[in-house]
Amino acid sequence: MSVFIAFPAYHQFHCRFRLMDAKPKPGNEVLFLVMIGILMLLGLAVVVFMPMKHSQDGGPLRGCGDRLKAVAFAMHKHHDLTMAFPAAYSVDKDGSILQGWRVAVLPFLDEPALYESIRRDEPWDSFHNSRYHGTNWMHFHCPDTHSSLQCCYSVVLGPDTPFTGPERWDFADITDGTSNTIMCVERRTPLDCWMDPTREVTQSDAEKGINVSPEGIGSPHPGGTQVMFCDGAVRFLRDSIDPALLKAMLTRGGGESLPLP
C-alpha cells in the first residue's frame, strides 16, 4: 500500500521555511520541537506504509507454517472445484508420469498464467516445461532452508495415504478423519525442482520417523517439523513422536484411535 500525503495549498504558500536556518526564539522552543516531531512522524509513516517488497509468492516473505497453510487452502479449493484432492501425479495413456500435484494447485495459489503456460500433456521435464523449473519455488519453499531454489514440501505417497499415485481421493475417503490424517509434510532432503513429481516422500520412509530417513519427513527447524493435515491445520511434530502415532496419522482409513500430540 502506498501513502500519498497532500498538504493544503495554504500551507504550501504560507509555511515555507528552512529548518537549517530556523532559530527558535525564547518561548517558542516547545512549538519548534513539536514541529520537528511532526515532521519525523510523517517521515516514519511514509517509510512504514511504503509498498513492501514482495516475494515470488505474491506477498511478503512468510514463515514456513503460513506457506503450508496457503498450500492447504489451495488443496481445499481444488477439492471444491473438482470434488477431489489432486493426484500425487498425472500419467499419460502409457502410464508415464507427466505432472505432479504442485502444478495442479497453481491456479489456487494465484498462478493461473503459469498453470496455463505449462504443457500438462507433456512430462514435467520436457523441453518446453523445463523452462519453468526455476519459477514459482517460493510457494513450496521453507524460509529456513539454506538454498532458495529447493522445494521443501511433499505429499506422502503410499497405498494407505491420501496420495496413492494417479488416483484422486476426496473427503469421504478420509475415514480416519481429516484432522487425524496427514496431507503434506516437510522433506528432510528438499528437491532441487518444485515440478519434480517422481520423488515424493514414500509411506515407508515417512514411517521411519522425523529427521531419520534422508528421503523422509524432516526439516531444518530445531526439534521437529511442521506437517499439514487434511483439514488444513498445520501442526509441529517433534522428533520424539511415537512411531506408532506417526504411522497412524499417515493412513487415510486405518481405523486407528490414537490421541493426537
Task: Name the strand (E) or helix (H) holding 157.
Answer: strand 151-157
Closest CA to 169 of 243, 247, 94, 253: 253
Q: How far apart are CA 31 and CA 22, in angstroms?
A: 12
> Which residue do the cell numbers 501425479 mark?
89
Give the predicted TM-score (pTM) of the model: 0.74
Q: State pLDDT tens for residues 11-40.
A: 444 444 444 444 555 556 666 666 776 777
Cβ partners under 8 Å of residue 94, min gap 6 = none
- Cα 122 to the center of its chain, rounded Å: 26
Q: State pLDDT tens for residues 84-120.
A: 999 999 999 999 999 999 999 999 999 999 999 999 9
Cβ partners under 8 Å of residue 229, min gap 6 = 178, 179, 180, 181, 182, 183, 235, 249
Q: State pLDDT tens for residues 136-159.
A: 678 999 988 877 778 999 999 999
Edge-first strand listing for the sheet containing 151-157: 201-202, 151-157, 182-191, 224-229, 234-238
Whether the pLDDT of residue 59 is over 70: the answer is no
Q: Largest alpha-carbon pair distance within the chain?
A: 90
Q: How far apart are CA 93 and CA 100, in angstroms?
A: 16
- Return the C-alpha cell found at 175: 475415514
- Return the C-alpha cell found at 204: 515407508
